[in-house]
Amino acid sequence: MIHIGFRSGVIALIIILLISLSYFMISLRYDIREIHKMPERSVIFDVQGQELATLHGENRRLISREEIPDFFVTALQAREDKRFFTHHGVDISGLVRATMRNASDMSFTQGASTLTMQLARNSFELREKSLHRKLLEIAISLRIEASYSKDQILTAYVNRIYFGSGCHGLEEAARRYFGVSASGLSDNQCALLVGIIRAPHAFSPLRAQQKAVHQRDEVLARMVKERVLTKAGAKEIKGSKLGLRSGLDNSGSSPALQAVRRHFEELIDNREIRDGGLHLYTTIDAATQKLLEDEVTKLLQAIPDTPEAAVICLDPGTGGVRGIVGGRATGNSLFNRALDARRDLGDLFTPFIYAAAAERGLQPVSGQPLRTGREIGTADLIQLARRFGFDGPFLREDDLFRGGVSATPLEIATAVATLTRDGQRPRTHFLRELKDSESNRILSIEPSSKSMFSPASTRTALTIQFPGETQRILIGTSPAKTDIWAISCGSLHTVCLWVGHDKPRRLDSPDIIRSQVLNTIERIALSLAP
């Protein structure tokens, strides 16, 4: 009997070794470096380097070990893997206990998965509940433990795990649910996030707050049982403010961000966009953007009609767009009126006629754009207008000289910048720089301009149009009174504001609207003044 038992033991050991070797060989098919390779959201920064929003890629932001709160780690150990820092990827006692329970129940309901095993499962999509999957998971976990430190494994786990509501990783969950970075999470918030890991869809605090709080309580109770937290401490945490945000998330919906995204998608390959993890450094100034949005909102509330409005602000020196509003705040429309809406300029075209005349050696007649235009002629004026960046269409003869030119707010702002920069027309842009997830530069856009007019011509036009004025503001109405324009010709900011209907029709009470538009552009110019 002893001989038979010994032989059976040897055979069993050989079988175990063969199975182990077999699964070790299978595990070699998996590149364990993948545990640290996770797609992130692309992040948009303003001109000051402050984060504006995110877009594309998975809803994830990677953090370092130092950014993970100690309380979160302690709670995670208590709830998911109390021997994490002492085992080698597999908790033998837990695995034996789970195996006996599964054998008794004739199922795979008990997994006994360590954090390392969960990381392996999530990294390589090992989802099937079977003995084969569990053995493969163990083999990969042992390789992970042999290759990385506990802190590296913990960091990869925290960055990869799903927390519900589209949030991958602790940092994104902290921002989404509580409006803070992971490092700023309170003990209450940490416990709740640990609690929802097991069923992130069912326990999402945005959809099922009571269930999420119940899971938090279970985590705290477990911590008390493991003697890493006192009952008094747990009670104090429960009584503290949770600070849960509402379910609304308007990230990325700003009109400026819509325009940035549009520019971005025109420049970058679709595959790179989908992969995410990019850093977009824009020309947008967050304070200027908010100013424009607030002013357009107030303007639309004040005027006695329901038209649309658009405004754009440029840095005339660099051509960088500092702020843009493409219409009413009605969602993520692809039609941005500041970029796409073409309307007749009317008397707003006058200073450009003056500059064109001076460029041809003619003397502009103040207050007489019709007479000045006739001296230039239709064909020559159209050619010179194109130098400013106007694409038309253009009317002919006197209709042209009265402002029969269709243009977008962006074109007008560019033309005004050309006036104020001594005839140098800037190349307008939204992006300054683009980097990948490893901070390698993909794209860099340097300010550039083209000389289109002589400095004397543009200075002459400005002097005639704004004689002795320190605040150079011009307001104009299209001949049919369907559109009202206003421009501010500052040295550091060029602003163009438009009000009208998408389907052109005469504005109700145009004189009242004109007065409101003038007040708005004056407030914007004053706020942007150095």
Residue-level pLDDT at 96: 61
Residue-level pLDDT at 515: 93
Of the ranges 50-59, 333-342, 504-513, the best mean pLDDT one: 504-513
On the question of pLDDT at 167 being above 70, the answer is yes
Which tokens belong to 148? Answer: 């990385």
Residue-level pLDDT at 4: 60
Residue-level pLDDT at 421: 95
Residue-level pLDDT at 251: 47
Distance separating alpha carbons of residues 424 and 338, to the nearest angstrom: 22
Instruction: State whether the Cα torsion 202-204-210-216 is positive or negative.
Output: positive
Is the domain spanning 61-239 CATH 2.40.50.140? The answer is no
User: Which among 469, 473, 477, 467 has a CA at the least distance from the CA of 504?
Assistant: 477
Distance separating alpha carbons of residues 525 and 509, to the nearest angstrom: 25
On the question of pLDDT at 20 being above 70, the answer is no
Residues pairing with 495 in the sheet? 313, 488
Distance separating alpha carbons of residues 292 and 266, to the nearest angstrom: 25
Which range (86-100, 348-362, 467-481) has the least confidence? 86-100
Q: What is the percentage of the chain residues whose pLDDT exceeds 90?
A: 49
Counting DSSP H helices and E strands in the chain, the numbers are: 21, 14
As a whole number, mean pLDDT of residues 232-259 equals 76
CB burial of 480-509 (b: ≥16 within 10 Å; e: otherwise) equals ebbbbbbbbbbeebbbbbbbbbeeeeebee
As a whole number, mean pLDDT of residues 401-420 equals 94
Answer with the residue of higher pLDDT: 276 or 397: 397
On the question of pLDDT at 474 being above 60, the answer is yes
Decide if 197 contacts 80 (C-beta within 8 A).
yes
Average pLDDT of the residues of the chain: 84
Residue-level pLDDT at 31: 65
Residue partners of 197: CB distance under 8 A and separation at least 6: 76, 79, 80, 161, 163
Each domain of the chain, given as residue ranges in start order, spans 1-30, 61-239, 286-326+336-528
Residue-level pLDDT at 8: 58
Which tokens belong to 106? Answer: 């004739």
* Residue 120, Cβ density class (10 Å: 0-12 exposed, 13-18 middle, ≥19 buried): buried
Residue-level pLDDT at 382: 95
As a whole number, mean pLDDT of residues 509-516 equals 91
On the question of pLDDT at 248 being above 70, the answer is no
E strand spans, 356-440: 406-407, 424-426, 431-435
Residue-level pLDDT at 457: 96
As a whole number, mean pLDDT of residues 28-38 equals 69
User: Which among 512, 461, 519, 500 has a CA at the least distance from the CA of 344?
Assistant: 500
As a whole number, mean pLDDT of residues 254-283 equals 68
- Model pLDDT for residues 423-465, shown as the tens digit of each residue: 999 999 988 888 876 778 888 888 999 999 999 999 999 999 9
User: Which among 327, 320, 228 has a CA at the least distance from the CA of 282?
Assistant: 320
> Using 50, 70 and 90 to split pLDDT, how confident is the model at 216?
very high
Decide if 289 contacts 453 (C-beta within 8 A).
no
> Using 50, 70 and 90 to split pLDDT, how confident is the model at 36?
confident
Residue-level pLDDT at 139: 76
On the question of pLDDT at 171 being above 60, the answer is yes
Type of residue found at 374: R
Homologous superfamily (CATH) for 286-326+336-528: DD-peptidase/beta-lactamase superfamily (3.40.710.10)
As a whole number, mean pLDDT of residues 269-290 equals 74
Q: What is the percentage of the chain residues whose pLDDT exceeds 70?
A: 81
- Model pLDDT for residues 106-144, shown as the tens digit of each residue: 454 445 688 888 888 877 766 666 676 677 778 777 888
Vertex 200: Cα angle to 198 and 41 (nearest 5): 125
Decide if 420 contacts 388 (C-beta within 8 A).
no
- Model pLDDT for residues 346-366, shown as the tens digit of each residue: 999 999 999 999 999 999 988
> Do 61-239 and 286-326+336-528 have matching folds?
no
> Using 50, 70 and 90 to split pLDDT, how confident is the model at 530?
confident
